[in-house]
Structures are given as C-alpha cells and as structure tokens.
A = this chain, B = another copy of it.
Amino acid sequence: MRDRAEKYFQDLRDRICAAFELLDGGSFERTSWERPGGGGGLMSAMKGKVFEKVGVNCSTVFGEMDPEFGKGIPGYRNYFFATGISLVAHMVNPLVPAFHLNLRYIETDHSWFGGGADMTPSFPFEEDITDYHRALKTACDQHDPIYYSRFKKWCDDYFYLEHRKEPRGSEGIFFDHIVQDPEKDFKFVRDIGEAFLEACPKVILKRKDMPFTEEQRDFQLYKRGRYVEFNLLYDQGTQFGLKTGANANAVLMSMPPVVKWK
C-alpha cells in the first residue's frame, strides 16, 4: 500500500499542477527536501497572476519521532511511516476562495488514511459552495451514506478558532484514522482526490476574472490572518510536520504570501 498510495498522490499532484498552470498561465517550480531522520519530499510552488501563492507538497517520511509527540499518534511505538499530498492555494482575487487539500496514508502498528478538502471564501458565493460540496458528497456517498455528513461536521469542528470563538470559514470535509479496509479506504481517498480535481478548478475559473475593490482585497488579507492563526495554533498536520523534523519551509508552505492583522 505504501508505494501505491505514494504513486497516487504524486500522480494527483501532477494533474492538479497541470490544471492550475492552465488556469494561471504560470508554471510550478519544484524543490526537493530531505528529512534528516528518514524520507523527504518534493515541494511544487507557483506564484502567478491567478494564484498569488500555491504550494503542493508530496512527502514520504518515516523513522522515529519525539516520544512525547508520538503519544498523540494512534499505535505509535517507535516507528512511523507517512506519505501524503498537501495543497494550499492563496488567490490574487479576493472573490476566489483559498483552497486546501490533504490526503495521507500513515502506518504505526496499524495503518490508516486521513485527509480533507475544504475552501475558505472571503466572500462566499452560495453557488460555489453548493457545487464544491456536491462533488465531495458524490464521492463520499459512493462509499458510505454516513461519510459526507460526518466528515462535513468534522471539518466544521476542526477548523474552528476556539480562541476567537469563530469558524475559520472553511467549507468541506475532514476525516482521520479511517481503518475500515485498506483497499476500500484507498479507493475512497482517491475519489476525494478526483472530486477535488474536478470541483476546485471550476470555482477558480468562474471567479478569477471578476472585478474586485481594494476593500475586498483588504478583507481577504485580514481573513488570511485567521488562516495563519489556525495553522500555527491548531493544525495537526503543521504540528506533525514541525515536530517530526520535516523541512520547515515545506511544512509552512501553507502560509499566505501577504497577511494583515487589525
């Protein structure tokens, strides 16, 4: 499963990058990095006319981790393996939502999948939310009728800024520690990847050329502050990356290019 999951994530990365390059006119640059304790990854980044900053990181890391942190990982004794894709897109136009995708396969004394796909609009369009969710729901429904509503709630709960008593404004699904059946779970994760590839570019295409005001742009930069707060204070992937000694630039690739705090 390790190799198959890794290959799928890399293949998905290539197809997403191709779609984003088509939308933007720019091109991704790739940088590889190594984890001193074992493994590494390849970070693909683009700054363009539509994507103010988009990063797609495929990584495969393994080995030991800080025992204190390992306590929080199901079944961790002294070895882990993790392969995944992580994508964050911050857009030039404030009417285009920020997008986030993460899919991962993890092994400790057992194995599981986790991930999520969501978007964070500064100015929500009902239609975009409906379209994006329909794609995710269709993918979920093929696997378990409970998945969509459960994972949507999980997403809403997860992306909640407790210190501000505010939702981050994310829309999507989130799931972790899926341990039904490896083949079926892998199929589910791939369907989520494909749903993202189908739905995300459509929303971007629809909004990227809409005119916007300076006030709207300013509000977008302010919303990004919540994104930063969430990622550094709460996000498990960020904590996992930083505490397992992954490359800080790769882990913090999700940071928005420009942010404001009031």
Are B242 and A232 interface neighbours, CB within 8 A? no
Are A258 and B255 interface neighbours, CB within 8 A? no
Chain B residues in 8 Å Cβ range of A257: 260-262
A230 to chain B, nearest CB (A): 9
Contact pick for A252, options B53, B221, B252, B261, CB 8 Å:
B261
Q: A164 vs B246: C-alpha distance in the bound complex, in angstroms?
A: 10
Are A258 and B256 interface neighbours, CB within 8 A? no
Query: Is A110 engaged at the interface, CB distance under 8 Å to the other chain?
Result: no
Contact pick for A258, options B232, B233, B251, B258, CB 8 Å:
B258
Query: Is A22 engaged at the interface, CB distance under 8 Å to the other chain?
Result: no
Query: Is A129 engaged at the interface, CB distance under 8 Å to the other chain?
Result: no
Query: Is A259 engaged at the interface, CB distance under 8 Å to the other chain?
Result: yes
Q: A135 vs B225: C-alpha distance in the bound complex, in angstroms?
A: 35
Are A163 and B259 interface neighbours, CB within 8 A? no
Number of identical protomers: 2
A258 to chain B, nearest CB (A): 5
Known contacts A228-B232, A232-B229, A232-B232; A164 and B255 CB within 8 A of each other: no
Contact pick for A242, options B163, B255, B259, CB 8 Å:
B163
Chain B residues in 8 Å Cβ range of A179: none
Binary interface encoding of chain A residues 208-249 relative to chain B, with 1 for a CB under 8 A from any of its CBs, else 0: 000000000000010001001100110000000010000010
Chain B residues in 8 Å Cβ range of A252: 163, 229, 261
Within 8 A of B (CB), among A4-62: 53
Q: A47 vs B162: C-alpha distance in the bound complex, in angstroms?
A: 28
Q: A218 vs B232: C-alpha distance in the bound complex, in angstroms?
A: 22
Chain B residues in 8 Å Cβ range of A248: 163-164
Q: A255 vs B260: C-alpha distance in the bound complex, in angstroms?
A: 9
A245 to chain B, nearest CB (A): 8
6 additional A-B residue pairs with CB within 8 Å, beyond A163-B252, A256-B261, A259-B260: A53-B261, A164-B248, A229-B232, A255-B261, A257-B261, A258-B260
A interface residues, Cβ below 8 angstroms from B:
53, 162-164, 221, 225, 228-229, 232-233, 242, 248, 251-252, 255-262
Of the A-B pairs whose beta carbons lie under 8 Å apart in the complex, a sample of 24, sorted by A's number, is A162-B242, A163-B242, A163-B248, A163-B251, A163-B252, A164-B248, A221-B258, A225-B255, A228-B228, A228-B232, A228-B259, A229-B252, A232-B232, A232-B233, A233-B242, A252-B261, A255-B261, A256-B261, A257-B261, A257-B262, A258-B258, A258-B260, A259-B259, A259-B261
